[in-house]
Structure 1
Amino acid sequence: MPGRWRAYYQRWHAATLSEMDPRLVGLMPELERFVPPAKVVDKMTYSALGAPELMPLVTRSGCVIVSGAETDVCVLSSLMGLIDLGLRTIVVADAVCSSSDQGHEYLLTLFSERYALQVEVAEADDVIEAWRR
């Protein structure tokens, strides 16, 4: 990666795909059965939109359901990009987490209140139920 990303990846080298146990970043068996037709896209930046192959999938769908680790870093970065694109965006509250409980809780509140016209916050069971309908 260019610029300051190089120092970042040197510092956090143990968290790179080349050093991690692939089972730690793979999909759970319950989700693996959906690939294909679903696609798995690896990202190298905070925002998932930094993965060029993701952009056509996201813009074609018109709706993005967001889950992930580090609510106050990667999820936030991806979410702001999705807001900029004007896409319907749903954050699954019980499918995001962070190493900072305070940051996590603050951002879920921020998404629900400040960005309420651009972001929906829902629980996984509610998303799955709506999908089934």
Structure 2
Amino acid sequence: MHLMNAKRSRLVIIDFQARLMPAIHDGPRLVANAGKLVAAARLLDVPIVMTEQNPAGLGTTVPELAEAAPAIAKMSFDSCGAPDFIDAIAGDEDLILCGCEAHVCVGQTALSLLENKRRVLVVQDAVGSRTPENKEAALRRLERSGAEIVTTEMVVFEWLRTAEHPQFRPAARLIK
């Protein structure tokens, strides 16, 4: 394990969709934290990849995050089942995952990425499920499988590394 590095990271936003979010436990807080990650990624030039599960059925990405990146539509729960997703994450960057649902699309995506020897970090305060039990079970399983469980603040401050970073003030304001 090593510190996250903005130059070696890619933020992956999975299925924060309008019709799904009202059913997600603590949804508004999760969306707000994902928004902080997006803003920090933009400040620090971290590439962003975003998916939408069955957008015809579940709607498009919530307005707060819709501008983060062009969404990759998928029908498979595992984002790796979408060829456009595989193309978008080509390389060896650390993959910072947030989204819904922790025990379905986020979980299956993380497990596939781990099988393919990618470093996966799941942002626990920016992933959700309909029930806390499903989220907790997913996070335990993912951690046992090799994913690192982190928080929004851990990501932002590891990307910055120092209070002398030129983007420190605007990035730190995102957290307060």
1:18 aligns with 2:56: yes
Relative distance call for 1:87 and 1:27 in structure 2 (3 A) is farther
Query: Which residue pairs with 2:64 in the alignment?
Result: 28
Letter in 1 for 2:64: M
Relative distance call for 1:108 and 1:51 in structure 2 (3 A) is same
1:121 aligns with 2:149: yes
Q: Deviations over 1:56-88 (max 9, x none)?
A: 222314321111111111111101100111001
Greater percentage in helix: 1
Say which SS state the counterpart of residue 60 (structure 1) adopts. coil
Q: Distance in 2 between matches of 1:55 and 1:110?
A: 23
Structure with the greater alpha carbon radius of gyration: 1
Q: Does the 8 Å CA contact 1:91/1:119 hold for their aligned counterparts?
A: yes
How does the TM-score come out when normalised to structure 2?
A: 0.54
- Identity level (%): 25
Structure with the larger RCO, 1 or 2 (CA within 8 Å, 6+ apart): 2
Residues 55-66 of structure 1 mapped to structure 2, 5 A cutoff: 55-66=86-97
Structure 1, unmatched stretches of 5+, are 1-13
Say which SS state the counterpart of residue 79 (structure 1) adopts. helix
Q: Distance in 2 between matches of 1:78 and 1:98?
A: 15
How does the TM-score come out when normalised to structure 1?
A: 0.69
Greater percentage in strand: 2
Relative distance call for 1:68 and 1:126 in structure 2 (3 A) is same
Relative distance call for 1:132 and 1:41 in structure 2 (3 A) is farther
Relative distance call for 1:79 and 1:19 in structure 2 (3 A) is closer
